[in-house]
Each structure stands twice: as C-alpha cells, then as structure tokens.
Structure 1
Amino acid sequence: MSKTLNRPIRVLVAKVGLDGHDRGAKVIATSLRDAGMEVIYTGLRQTPEMVVNAALQEDVDAIGISILSGAHMTVFPKIMDIMKQKGLENVLVTGGGIIPEGDMQKLKDIGVGELFAPGTTMEAITTYITNWVTENRNF
C-alpha cells in the first residue's frame, strides 16, 4: 500500500547569492505549482540565512536551490548548517544548476538530496520531491 498526503506539498524555491539568472527557478516554481504543490519563490539575491528563515516561517516540506554561480560548495553546506542550528529537521534540501557530478556526491554526503543538472525533466523533479515528502513528511 503506498502512502499519500492529504495536503499539498509546500516547496520553497530560492536563488542564493549574486547569481541574477532566475529563469530556471521560475520555470521550476511554475511547474511544481502546476503539479499541485504550494510554492514560495523567494526571488533573487537571498542569503542562506534568509532561505532557512523563510523555510521555517512557511513550514515547507522541501527547499529547492537554483544555483548557476559556482558557489554550490559554499551555499549548500551553509544552508545545511543553519538548518541544523535552528532545528529544522526532516526538510528536503534539493536543487539544481551547474554542479559537477563529483561535487553533487560531496553534497549528498552532507545530507543534500538529489541535485538536478540542466536538461532534467520536470517530471523527474516533481516525482522525486513528491516521493521524498510522502516517505519522510507524511503528517
């Protein structure tokens, strides 16, 4: 018997740092919304602290970080550290952008979820988030 949620999945989509390219984040946010999720898009130039604070305030199931700047090895660990400090547990941190495969594995090793490269289908991203939330946040 598979689990189902009796509520919409809540996802925070964020652009961290000085990267001003937000088309991909907006496409992701729209696609997740079209899939029935509640999406909070924080806009450009967020700090890791701002992202975690917004995730706490919005009671999200998942945080999706769009990153094209090359700062992924700084941004993701900082977000994970702040989440731990603030007791934000059992929330998926996922994302995508220009992230080399070796770095993806290092980030997964510290607790970051699946990271998606350019060209990933929206179906793959939506399915991953839905499955993770259903398995880990079914309350």
Structure 2
Amino acid sequence: MQVDFYHLTATPLERALPSIAQRIVAGGGRLLIVSGDEGQRGAIDRLLWSYSPESFLPHGQAGGDDDASQPVLIAADVAPANEAANIALIDGEWRDAALDFERAFHFFDGDRIQEARAAWKVLADRDGVERRYWKQDDAGKWEQAA
C-alpha cells in the first residue's frame, strides 16, 4: 500500500488532481475522490468536465444509479462504489479507511500541515505502508522529498 502526501503550495488542487486522475484512468484504473465538503465536491465535479478542452475524464458524484460504472467517483465517504483501487483525499483530512486501497493520494495545504504531519508519523508504524512526500520546487514542479 502506497500513500502519497501532496503538499499544495504553488499548484492548487484544481491543477494537481486532474492530472493524477487522468493518469489513473488512462492506465485502466479507477479513482475514488473523497471530501467531506459538499461545496468542494461540487467544484471538483464541475472542474473534471472542463479542466482541459482536449481531454475527457468520465466521472460522477456518488449516489447515482451508475456509481459502479464510474472510472472516477466523487464521494463524501470512503465507500468505493466504483470498486476503485486508488483514493484521493482532497479536503486535507486523513482517513485510515484509505489504507484499504492500493494507493492513496493525500492532498493538503498549509492550513492542514499539522494534521498531515500527524498522519505521516502514524503511518510510519504501519506494516506494509510505503509513504512518499511530494513538494513543489520554486518553478512549481513536483519533486519527491521523502
């Protein structure tokens, strides 16, 4: 199980998340995007339809009749109705249920850095969990820092 911590500084979630989602779907995978914030879920739903004019990223919000067929599903809870092996926690809140997935992406900004550090430390003691910390350089490019 791999957990990637993404510290959002120069690049906002709205630019980082679509590229990760697109790579997962292009590779035949599925992604569950989780946020406890209804407004954020709605904004991400709209974003995934319009973030790039030359691409199409099929997705839906949880609670519909076709949840199981969605390559990308946006939900309030960690319940992969689309049988996703990947999860993106986008509201800055770590959830231990993410450890049931093959890969977790934990996005956080400066307001949530203390919680991210606490999750990082707790996960250090978990068997079978590989942690990676991604930060941005001065040019905004992602680089693995730990």
Q: Quickly name the TM-score band, shorter chain normalised.
A: 0.3 to 0.5
With CA pairs under 8 Å and 6+ residues apart, which has the higher RCO, 1 or 2? 2
Q: Considering fraction of residues, name the structure with more helix.
A: 1
Q: Which has the larger radius of gyration?
A: 2
Q: Considering fraction of residues, name the structure with more strand.
A: 2
TM-score by length of 2: 0.41
